[in-house]
Amino acid sequence: MTQQHSGEVLLAVNNLKTYFNTDDGVVRSVDGVTFHIKKGETLAVVGESGSGKSVTSLTVMRLIPMPPGQIAGGEILFTGKDGVQKNLVNVSEAEMRKIRGNDISMIFQEPMTSLNPVYTVGDQIAEAVMLHQGKTRKEAMDVATDMLRFVGIPAPEKRVHEYPHQMSGGMRQRVMIAMALSCKPALLIADEPTTALDVTIQAQILDLMRNLQKEVGMSILFITHNLGVVAEMADRVVVMYGGRVVEEGDVIEIFKAPRHPYTMGLLNSIPRPSEEEHAHVPGQPKKRLEAIPGNVPNPLTLPPGCTFEPRCKFALPQCSQGVPALEDTGGGHMARCIRWREFEAASPDRAHAVQHIGPGGEVNA
Amino acid sequence: MTTVTSTQTEKTNHAQSQWQVAWKQFRRNRLAQWGALGLILLYLSALFAPFLAQDSLSSYSTDNLVPNHPPTPIHWRDPAGEVSGPFVYRYTQQLNLDTFVNEYKPSDEKCPVRFFAKGDPYKLFGIIPMDRHLFGTENAECKVYLMGGDNLGRDFFTRIMYASQISLTIGVAAVFISYIIGAIMGSLAAFFGGWVDNVIMRLVEVLASIPDLFLIILLVALFPPNVNPLVRLYIVLGMLAFINWGGVARTVRGQLLAEREKDHVMAASALGASNGRVMFRHMLPSMTTLFIVNLSIAIPASILTESGLSFLGIGAVEPYASWGSLLNKAQEGGFSSFTDRPWVLIPGFFIVFTVLCWQLVGDGLRDAFDPRKRR
Amino acid sequence: MTTGPLLNSGPQTVPVAASRQNLLEVNNLQKYFPIRGGLMSRVVANVKAVNDVTFTVGKGEVVGLIGESGSGKTTAGRALLRLIEPTGGQVIFDGTDITRLSKPQMRDYRRQMQIIFQDPFASLNPRMTVSDIIGEAMQIHKLHPGKQRVDRIAELLQRVGLRPEHMGRYPHEFSGGQRQRIGIARALAVDPSFIVADEPVSALDVSIQAQVVNLIQDLQEELGLTVLFIAHDLHVVEYICDRMIVMYLGRIMEIAPSRELNRNPKHPYTEALLSASPIPDPTIKRQRIILEGDIPSPINPPSGCVFRTRCRYAIADCANIVPELREVAPDHFKACIRDDIL
Amino acid sequence: MLPFIIKRILASIPVLLLSSALIFFIIQAAPGDFLTPLKLSPVDTSAQVAALTKQFGLDKPVWQQYFIWLGNMLTGNLGLSFAYQQPVADIAFPRILNSIWLVLLNLVLFYPIAIALGVYGAVRQYSFGDKLSSVILYFLLGFPSFFLALIVIFLVLQVRFATGWDIPLNGMYSDNHDSLSAFGKFWDYLSHMLLPALVLTLISLAGFTRVLRGLMLDQLNADYVRTARSKGLSHNRVIYKHALRNAILPFVAGIGGLLPGLISGAGFVEVVFAYPGITPMLLNAITTQDLYLIAGFNMVTLFLLLIGNALSDILLAVVDPRIKYA
Amino acid sequence: DFVYPQAWSADPAASAKTGGELRTYTLSDFKTLNPFVSKEAESLPNSYFNLGAYLFTQDPRNDKFIPVMAASMPTVSNNGKRFVVKIRQGMKFSDGQAITADDWVSTLAIHKDDKVGSNSYDSFFINKKPVTVKKLDTYTLQFDFPTVDVSAYSKMSYTPWPDHVFGKAYRSGGAAAVTKLWPLNTPGSNIVVPGAWTLESFQAGQRVVLKKNTRFGEWNKDSAGKALPYLDRLSFRVIENQNAALAAYLAGQIDTFGPRNADDLAQIKRAIDGGNLKAELFANVGPQATSTWVVWNWNKSGDPFKQKIFRDVRFRRAMSHIANRKAMVQLTLGGLGTEVYSSVYPIFKNYTYASTPKYSYDLDQARKLLAQMGFTKKDKDGWLVDAQGRRLEFTLNTNSGNTVREQQGRIFADEAKKVGVKINFNPIDFNNLVDLMYEKGENRKFDSILLGFSGGTNYWPYSSNTVTCGGSLHAYNNPTNGACLTSQEQLITKLFNQGQQTLDDTKRRAIGEQLSKAMAELQPFVYLAGSNYHVSFNSRLGGEMPRNLWDAYYGSRLNVLTYIK
Ligand SMILES: Nc1ncnc2c1ncn2[C@@H]1O[C@H](COP(=O)(O)OP(=O)(O)OP(=O)(O)O)[C@@H](O)[C@H]1O
Ligand SMILES: Nc1ncnc2c1ncn2[C@@H]1O[C@H](COP(=O)(O)OP(=O)(O)OP(=O)(O)O)[C@@H](O)[C@H]1O
Ligand SMILES: [Mg+2]
Ligand SMILES: [Mg+2]
């Protein structure tokens, strides 16, 4: 999975803040998010529901409804097809429209509702082609047919004239992908593209995306909360919690040597059938999953310090004092925890070993 | 056992029922609040109509004929410039045979305006006998015509106040009745299904296929001729209700069928709840919001229908009046109602205002109960 | 290799869990949803949501029911509780065929059989407080009258990891995981012996999923509950289930003990399902079996083996023979005519 | 599609019979009949009343009259109007046509305004303009139609006096209509219908606009709108091509109701404007108990309702590809 | 032969211009073109196609019948029951065919066929015996009446319809063939008329244009010898709403308008004064031939107490005393109306007499009369009761939707309250009301009804069905056998029949005086008030009658003498 990338940064998000003014107060959905994507690379963003994954991606697309939304700060530096770097926070709406669908495309979680039910899929694909590439309707329809073929839809000449409701969920997601790729974007943002699909269909789609990326060479910002999918798709991973990036790093680093308690908790709370000790042997007491206690924080009443502090079993009193910095733990691996060094020391590559670090205490290794 | 307890302490001031949430939303809607205020004032004044009005429903003099008396200015200074209590002059009327317009001239006779003046006896709320009115001159020949008079010389303000009792209640009552009928029929259809459903729904279609107004006109003629005008009004009300229940039944049926599929309803049956319990505890309550919102939109519609009936002479008849029937009199007067006695148009603006208020409130309620807005 | 009849109509051999006594026996359960149309709203077709499903659940056992969306899991779960009337077949609960019971008789059985729903938002009446929701069951069955009831509700809340103060609140004030706990408390309120858990964690966040799975597991062990755990994620259920049933298009494909099923799937569908679930380990590389196409319509299921249209091992016979559920290893059943694979 | 429509129409036959019977029996149950006013004539008319009663079949039992009428109906004959002594179809049809023109013009005015306002209200939710337009719409909604019509006539008369412009006040065309050119004729019709159509539009605007606004709000939050935006489409294109098209769908389903609405909808406005539509004729027929005219008209309405429903099914299938007919 | 006298027009015949169009309106759509089918008072065939085509007509100067189509007044024989009429020669239908005796004969035959359902059917039967006509020769007719009849001239003056159209159809296809003729979509060229106007175009519900029948002008001339009518066209807008009609008149779109009340007058006056309308306005030209009244039901065997009261003449006189007619005129008719005390409307000046008693507004008198009946005490609510404590109370119905009647009833009830009579005033549906009143029997349902009649003739303003016992509108006393209850009723019936059979005007007027007195004393109907007749027309019209001839009976102008200035 780890390909050799040119190392050129396509998108750099620095200290991005997106707030929503609601009746009950200001929701800081994205509160100082920083990350970057290189050309041709797949960056996965994981995190719990409400952690700000979608808002981050929508902010990059400048599709946040304003009001109530508001970009409260930060920058989004993007180098488009024309090679000019722009700060997407500042560009005009007209310019942004040229970027959307052309330089950056997006596919969404709900394939069932993300397509307009009253237009044929061909129309919907051709629409963007006509807009961005100045093609005639007929040419654009040909492009649409080609794109459908490209994403593996059988009999595309026929399907191009069909309506979304005539297709299954997996097919619709393929149509979405075809639409997103129709203008050969430099960056594809995929917001949980397989969450609503069955595993067998999910496998089809993930397979498709991987193949397409190889062919087209675009970068992918892949948003999900399924760690299995992350493991399969990503080159690098950004872990978000409570509107902030809590950890960032190479996919293997993140899975093998997490430096943030939330990442560790997440990894522990999912079943790993491949690992012997997890499996249940008849006759013996069943094994248990390790759960992160507590609830996802209410975005209106985020804790003042580390947002994970109330659920963190390693929390120290100082954790609630101030927001910990996102520190580089070496090799581009970043973590937002004041105790990351202890975790690193305790276990160079196994998250599970960290269990013997006492709650709020010293490492008793 | 080791249960995972949620360690996070939630704020406890969040205990809000959906009513409280709705109320909070409603409170935010300025226009709706103005509408609600307007309605409260209207209904209060209707409740106290006999007290607010200076006369009884149909009070005029046949000695001193004052058809279409204009509004009388209330004076505070007598001609000498001295400040006195409020008073009005008595007016005399003359039909100008050149222009055919009634001309009114003030006479010298001053009639002091008193508050809590004695006047025609009435029963407040239909029970408390009283004879005090908010204001009045205690002189039948020399009244305060706040909003002018009608062609018999009856105080128009008084008529409007009494008319408000009919106009404001007939719409509400008709809608309530039609909702009750509709809810019952709709529930029966949804609950029993099969031929019951079929018959009820066909009936609804039949009712819907005949234009409303014609149906009412036809139906009203069916009823016994020699009934008291008030009973007649109730009959009209019943007819109004009768033609409208179809739509309600259809909605209720649809909603109930949808509701039946909901998980929490299924959960109740899984617990072994009886059909009645499922119906009344789990299915019908979910319709309260739908009802509240629809009611607030149906009521103004039926107020308008009533005025349409008055236009056809089917609404309130002498001595009773509704805003619609008063307005119809203005309509019969044609352009003279505009040029010679514009005050007869006032009932029209009461209708407009009431409908406006109801609509604003309806809008506010719809937004307040809108699940999209609840978080 | 079986050369069975063209259509399998006779009763299947009932696969019995080796050593346990059965609490629940489901025989040839069928649920068809009629599609009405035409002038007199005649039945023009049937959605064969559950078709000839036969399995058992032993006392105290946790059985997983897995399959893709639309495979009939929910329908099977509800039909065997008679929340929807089954079209055919038998459900024998504790020795009684409950499909023959009258409605009032059935009401008593409801105490013993409960259900937890997938959607924690829709399954709680938004107009009732938590204590109303949990108390309703006791009210219906006249359990714990008077003051005791409040105590019992508080106890239940604590048991599922909520606090008694939550009693007066409304569902919308809780997070998804908490609501699911309320749903569990409601099911427990009548002291059932059998619970159908219909995808209770699918709608929850990853970090919360584990909490709820653990909770159900604890309750099951402590109270000796028998559970039919419906899920679509193989990995999650493996933890909690003793045995698993794999469904596809209204039919059972395979039944086996969890570990056995995971390691040693005998049915091509199970094999594909397993290989399709991504493994959260970036270092592991696997050869994926990617199923072509989509799950067919249950109105017109393929003839013979319903899976044959997507099966890479399909042979001509698959279109003619409805495969029986056969025991291919101890306690391991599969519905596939080919023994030469896997 | 065609079999589906035929089935629908067949299924409506019971409704057709029931509602005609309902109308028939209600009229019959009410006191008086077509000849009642004749009885009031100071000249002795009893012999004539008796003769006419017989001639019109008013002496037969109600159910017999109904079946006679129904029998005629089946042969496509709506019966004779008592008052006109002419086939109901012949006299009602031109009036219905007039009403249809009026309501059509109303719709031509109504939809653009209502859609524009509805979309505006949704896009600029809670803005000052949104609030102002809703207050104005509700204000207009509150006017009983006959009242607003009279106000409009009065105002136009004043304008006429003040400016001398020949603004039509009533009727459907001018006296010199026949001598006009084709375009002149068209304009003549239009100018006569404009005011009543406008009154109709004003009073009915609120309902549709507010509902459309709500539906638009739903659609604007829909996922596919987000998709459309993410393709880089312009604001207007997203709103009018994508969102509006979906928001309008529920109304397409209601278009069937428009047809009978077309012929019975203009109501009191026709009366006050002395417009030769069907309402004045029908009100007249009801007061004079012109039985066959009323029942016949009702049948026409019903037929139109049926055709309308079938039509909206077809239309809905055209605009909403999700609809399929078994 | 008849020539339209100069005296019928205020303008000299020489000044009249030929041509132009008179634009007028109709409040209710014309419903038919067939003269035998039409049921309305005003219809195209019976008001316009036949205009000027009758044997005799009344001269507005003296109310006398004069020959029009007749060559001269008839020869009367058989004690006034036989009339031999010579008709003019040279008269033609619009299709050019001569009008001859055959046309009268076949027309009457059709009218008298009950299967046709002609509106004139009744007028050709007197006491169920038919009026007959015989053709003596092509230009001579002989009418035979079963009895002497005051309206003989009027009855003979029916319009002859072309025998070659209607007669032919009748002979071949009977009544059905006749009623099928001339449906609304008949083209004007197929209409054959004897009168001044024929059809040009017909747009149902919108506009009707009539054009001059040029053949009519061949036998109808003005005093200067010019062919009539002067106008080329007569157009009607159908404006089924009074306010809309007024608006059209004010806007100058129509030439004539019948103002109903002070409101209409004020609007017209305002428009004239404001220079927006050039029109003439004459208010209060005279009373209309109409009045409202209250009637009590004498046949209430189910409620002997009420029956006794209603049958008591003192009660009815008392009721007349409480009728505040002045207030009714002022308040309900806007001051422009006439108080009415008798069944003869004030417009029929020849039949109103000083000797007829009036029971005018006088509450004291009413109290006195009621006291005589035993109503001396009042109960705790202030209502009059008799010695047994029975309340003087009854219901008064009128038709709802008629504001004038509703308010007159209100005033009536409110005045009654002042003397302690409780009237439950209750407006009800019109059809219900008529059914109540029309009912025959010993125990009829209603107590009292407020309604109005209109119409009548100026040579004998009584009609048998209201005046004579057994008449269908003898609403106060209508038992099953139709017998009179009191001697006064018998007297009234007798006087009516006498008058009805008296051809001599002076003698008839004398009988009328007795009849009027008898009726007034009995007060079976208590008459209230009637509106006044106003005239307004656009100044471009000429040819109206001299001002002194105007009244609600004859109107203000003759259609054929009207011209555009
Ligand atoms: N229009 C909005 N108004 C107010 N708050 C919003 C709005 N959109 C998003 N939010 C808030 O922003 C926060 C982040 O939401 P976001 O959708 O980015 O979460 P996510 O990480 O994508 O979650 P999921 O996995 O459920 O998609 C949430 O708390 C949400 O309530
Ligand atoms: N009430 C119903 N009427 C008609 N068809 C139904 C009904 N309920 C379910 N079905 C159909 O029955 C089939 C099985 O549905 P079911 O809900 O049992 O599947 P499931 O396995 O629970 O899927 P999921 O994972 O999506 O919950 C589906 O094709 C579904 O469309
Ligand atoms: Mg998201
Ligand atoms: Mg399911």
User: Taking CB atoms and an 8 Å cutoff, what residues of chain C touch B273?
Assistant: 136, 140
Interchain contact, B282 vs C125, CB within 8 Å: yes
Task: Decide if pLDDT at B274 tops 90.
Answer: no
Pocket-forming residues, ligand 2, beta carbon under 6 Å: C 33, 47, 49, 67, 69-75, 232, 298
CA distance C167 to C189: 14
What residues in B contact C160, CB-CB < 8 Å?
Answer: 3
For ligand 2, the distance from its centroid to the CA atom of residue C220, given in whole angstroms, is 27
In this prediction, residues A160-177 reach a mean pLDDT of 84
Q: Residue B258 C-alpha to ligand 3 middle, in angstroms? A: 29
Ligand 1: atom nearest CA of A30 is: 14
Residue from A29, A61, A222 to probe ligand 1 pocket by mutation (most atoms less than 8 Å from CB): A29
Assess if residue D68 is contained within a domain: no
Q: Among all residues of chain E, which has the CA nearest to that of D83?
A: E31
Span C84-102, average pLDDT: 88
Looking at beta carbons, which residues of chain A come within 8 Å of D126? none
Give the residue, by CA position, lying nearest to ligand 2 atom 30: C70
Distance between terminal CA atoms of chain A?
34
Say whether pLDDT at C22 is over 70.
yes
Q: Is residue B343 part of a domain?
A: yes
In total, how many domains does chain D have? 1
Nearest 5°: phi and psi at A198?
-70, 160
- Would you call A118 an interface residue with chain D, using a CB distance cutoff of 8 Å? yes
Whether B356 contacts D210, CB under 8 Å: no
The complex scores an ipTM of 0.81
Strand-pair partners of C88: C30
Task: Test D326 with C39 for CB contact under 8 angstroms.
Answer: no
Q: Indicate if B96 and B170 belong to the same structural domain.
A: no
What angle in degrees, to the nearest 10, is found between the helix axes of B156-192 and B346-369?
Answer: 40
Q: Would B72 be classed as within a structural domain?
A: yes
Which of D229, D232, D322 is opposite residue A117, by nearest beta carbon? D322
- Is the backbone peptide bond immediately before A68 cis, with ω within 30 degrees of 0? yes
Q: How far is the CA of C289 from the centre of ligand 3 (A)?
A: 29
**D218-228 confidence digits (pLDDT tens):** 888 888 888 88
Q: What is the pLDDT of residues C223-240, one digit of tens each?
A: 888 999 998 877 777 778
Nearest C-alpha to atom 4 of ligand 2 is from which residue?
A: C33
At C40 the pLDDT is 56
Q: Quickly state the pLDDT bin for B86 (edges 50, 70, 90).
A: confident
Task: Give yes or no for residue A279 having a pLDDT over 80.
Answer: no
Q: Of C37, C39, C44, which has the smallest distance from its Cβ to D11's Cβ?
A: C39
- List Cβ neighbours of A134 (8 Å cut-off, separation of 6 or more): none
* Closest C-alpha to ligand 2, atom 28: C70
Residue D159 counted as domain residue: yes
| Ligand 1 pocket check for A320: Cβ under 6 Å | no
In this prediction the pTM is: 0.83
Query: Given this model, what pLDDT does residue C39 score?
Result: 52
Alpha-carbon distance D307 to nearest alpha carbon in chain B (angstroms): 13
The domain containing residue B255 runs over which residues? 161-373
Atom 8, ligand 2: which residue's CA is nearest? C75
Among A23, A54, A246, which residue has the most ligand 1 atoms within 8 Å of its CB, making it the best to mutate? Answer: A54
Instruction: Look at E243 and D39 and tell me if their CB atoms are within 8 Å.
Output: no
How large a percentage of chain E has pLDDT more than 90?
49
Contact B8 A294 (CB under 8 A): yes
Euclidean distance between CA atoms D58 and E155, whole angstroms = 29
The residue among B137, B154, B171 that closes a domain is B154
Hey, are the CB atoms on C38 and D7 less than 8 Å from each other?
A: yes
Name residues 472-501 of chain E within 8 A of B (Cβ): none
Number of domains in chain B: 2
Is D80 a domain residue?
no
Residue B65 contacts residue E331 (beta carbons within 8 Å): yes
Residue E194 pLDDT grade (very low, low, confident, very high; cuts 50, 70, 90)? very high
CATH at B221: 1.10.3720.10
Q: What is the CATH number of the domain that holds D204?
A: 1.10.3720
* D141/B300 CB distance under 8 A: yes
Take residue E226 and report the two structure tokens written for it.
Answer: 């010019």
Q: Which residue of A has its CA nearest to B7?
A: A294
Closest CA to B8 of E240, E564, A182, C161: C161
Least Cα separation, residue D109 to chain A (angstroms) = 26
Residue E419 pLDDT > 70: yes
- Residues B142 and B175 placed together within one structural domain of the fold: no
Mean per-residue pLDDT of chain B:
80
Q: How far apart are the CA of A121 and the centre of ligand 1, in A?
A: 28
CB atoms under 10 Å from CB of E201, counted, come to: 13
- For ligand 1, say whether the CB of A111 is within 6 Å of any of its atoms: no
Determine contact: D286 vs chain B, CB below 8 A. Answer: yes
- What pLDDT, on the 0 to 100 scale, is given for residue D70? 80
- Banded model confidence at residue C18, pLDDT cuts 50, 70, 90: very low
- Give which of C193, C187, C236 is closest to C58, Cα–Cα: C193
> Residue E267: what residue type?
Q
Residue E248 CA to ligand 3 center (angstroms) comes to: 67
Closest ligand to C206 CA?
A: 1
A-D interface (Cβ pairs under 8 Å ≥ 3): yes
- pLDDT score for A353: 41
Q: Which of C110-114, C243-247, D7-11 has the lowest mean pLDDT?
A: D7-11
CATH number for the A6-102+184-275+290-346 domain, one of 3.40.50.300, 2.60.410.10, 3.30.1490.270, 3.10.20.740? 3.40.50.300
Q: What does the DSSP assignment read for A220-256?
A: EEEEES-HHHHHHH-SEEEEEETTEEEEEEEHHHHHH
Q: Distance from B318 to chain E by nearest Cα, in Å? A: 6
Is residue B5 a part of any domain in this protein? no
Given the CA of residue C298, which atom of ligand 2 is nearest to it?
Answer: 29
Higher pLDDT, residue C40 or B35: B35
Percent of chain D clearing pLDDT 90 (strictly above): 0
Contacts of D325 in chain C (CB under 8 A): none
Quick one: average pLDDT of C176-205? Answer: 86
Distance from CA of D147 to the nearest CA of A (A): 42
Residue with tokens 């044959």: C308
List, by residue range, all CATH 3.40.50.300 domains of chain A: 6-102+184-275+290-346
| D97 domain-assigned | yes
**Surface of D (198-257) touching E: CB under 8 A:** none
C340: pLDDT strictly greater than 90: no
Looking at the predicted structure, is the pLDDT value of residue E210 above 90? yes
The minimum-distance atom of ligand 2 relative to the CA of C71 is 21
Q: Residue D197: which domain range?
A: 89-276+304-317
> D260 falls in which pLDDT band (50, 70, 90)?
low
Window from A228-232, D10-14, D35-39, E298-302 with minimum mean pLDDT:
D35-39
Tell me what pLDDT residue A6 has.
53
| Co-location of B302 and B325 in the same domain | yes
pLDDT tens, position by position, E41-96: 788 888 899 998 999 999 999 888 999 999 999 999 988 899 999 999 989 999 99
User: How many CA within 13 A on the CB side of residue E385?
Assistant: 12
Determine the distance separating the centroid of ligand 4 and the alpha carbon of C70, expressed in angstroms. Answer: 7
Q: Whose CA is nearest to atom 29 of ligand 1?
A: A50
Q: How far is CA A43 from the centre of its chain?
A: 7
pLDDT in tens, E508-522: 999 999 999 999 999
B: neighbours with 3+ CB pairs under 8 Å? A, C, D, E
Residues in chain A with CB shorter than 8 Å from the CB of D246 are 116-118
Residue matched to tokens 């005086």: E513
Regarding whether B172 and B143 lie in a shared domain, the answer is no
Residues B241 and B100 in one domain: no
Nearest chain D Cα to B335, which residue?
Answer: D154
Q: Check if the beta carbon of residue B183 is closer than 8 Å to that of residue B248.
A: yes
What are the residues whose beta carbons fall under 8 Å from the beta carbon of D48, sequence distance 6 or more?
Answer: D38, E114, E117, E119, E121, E122
| Residue B13 contacts A, CB cutoff 8 Å | no
D109 domain-assigned = yes
Query: Is position B261 within any domain?
Result: yes
Residue B16 has pLDDT above 70, yes or no: no
Long-range contacts of C315-322 (CB under 8 A, 24+ apart): C317/C3, C320/C6, C321/C2, C321/C3, C321/C4, C321/C5, C321/C6, C321/C8, C322/C4, C322/C6, C322/C7, C322/C8
Contact present, B317 and B163 (Cβ < 8 Å): no
